[in-house]
Structure 1
């Protein structure tokens, strides 16, 4: 993928890795906290018969377009791409997650996303602040972090995509925008904040 902007000059020029969901939200977890993410368990509320929420339940509880929840007991945070289980990828040059809401082609969707990102009239929903210690992984919130490298019994691997980030505090903003009759773009963008 190639973005023509000054913010994309130091980003790798490769095609993005798209991640699909099994039906729930996607999540972005710092690589350092992956082992602490348990995903959907048989003891959770949605998939089990428990009354205590598991990690997947907590991700599903995010009602805005995006939100931040804790991971594990050491203060790590994960970014939930909520609202709907749209196939998504990370655009490192824009520090944005592109969500495939409606499009006839990947090329058309990327062009629509670029138009939304550069349009000063784009209406953004503020979704809080995310603190991360560096690189992260985009994945299905139903998966456990420890299971990402384990093949499914029927074949195939859990979907995941690297999110090359530097450590920092990021303001999270999101939008779902129809750019034309064929393209409806979802974006969750990370904006650096002052320390």
Structure 2
């Protein structure tokens, strides 16, 4: 996937895929945004750059299309098959995953990758669509 974000079919639903490159990712529920650590010396620098971008009304977001979800999601590495979540590896350990509290609904997905002075940040934001 060359886009910053997009959707892929999963059965009768669609999964949101954060594209471009692997990156440590967390969810910022107060902004309905996934924050991706592309390059930063500290978490403080990363979060400060994210807050700056989210607060700036002229941030040049890329439209990545719609996504509909029936509620909470699982953040996981795309190389892990969904059926493998929670299953122990032969050598021990389990695939990393994080539950993300997202409300049921239809969203417009917008994304940006920036190279700020102190941090390179990726953001994927979920904008609720009007009913």
Query: Which TM-score band applies after superposition, normalised by the shorter structure?
Result: over 0.9
- Give every structure 1 segment of 4 or more consecutive aligned residues whose post-TM-superposition deviation is greater than 6 Å: none
Task: Tell me the distance in 2 between the aligned counterparts of 1:192 and 1:64.
Answer: 21
* 1:77-88 pair list within 5 angstroms: 77-88=14-25
Structure 2 unaligned regions, length at least 5 = none
Deviation at 1:177, TM superposition (A): 1.2
1:176 to 113, 118, 124: 113
**Is the Cα contact below 8 Å between 1:103 and 1:183 reproduced in 2?**
yes
The structure with higher relative contact order (CA 8 Å, sep 6+) is 2
Q: What does residue 121 of structure 2 align with?
A: 185
Q: What does residue 88 of structure 2 align with?
A: 151
Task: Tell me the distance in 2 between the aligned counterparts of 1:185 and 1:102.
Answer: 7
Task: Tell me the distance in 2 between the aligned counterparts of 1:122 and 1:179.
Answer: 12
Deviation at 1:145, TM superposition (A): 1.4
Task: Tell me the distance in 2 between the aligned counterparts of 1:178 and 1:141.
Answer: 24
Q: TM-score, normalising length from structure 2?
A: 0.95
2:63 to 126, 146, 171: 126
RMSD: 1.0
* 1:1-195 pair list within 5 angstroms: 62-72=1-11, 75-180=12-117, 182-195=118-131
Query: What is the count of residue pairs matched by the alignment?
Result: 131
Q: As a proportion of its length, which structure holds more strand?
A: 2
Task: Tell me the distance in 2 between the aligned counterparts of 1:175 and 1:111.
Answer: 15
Deviation at 1:141, TM superposition (A): 1.1
Asked which structure has the greater CA Rg, the reply is 1
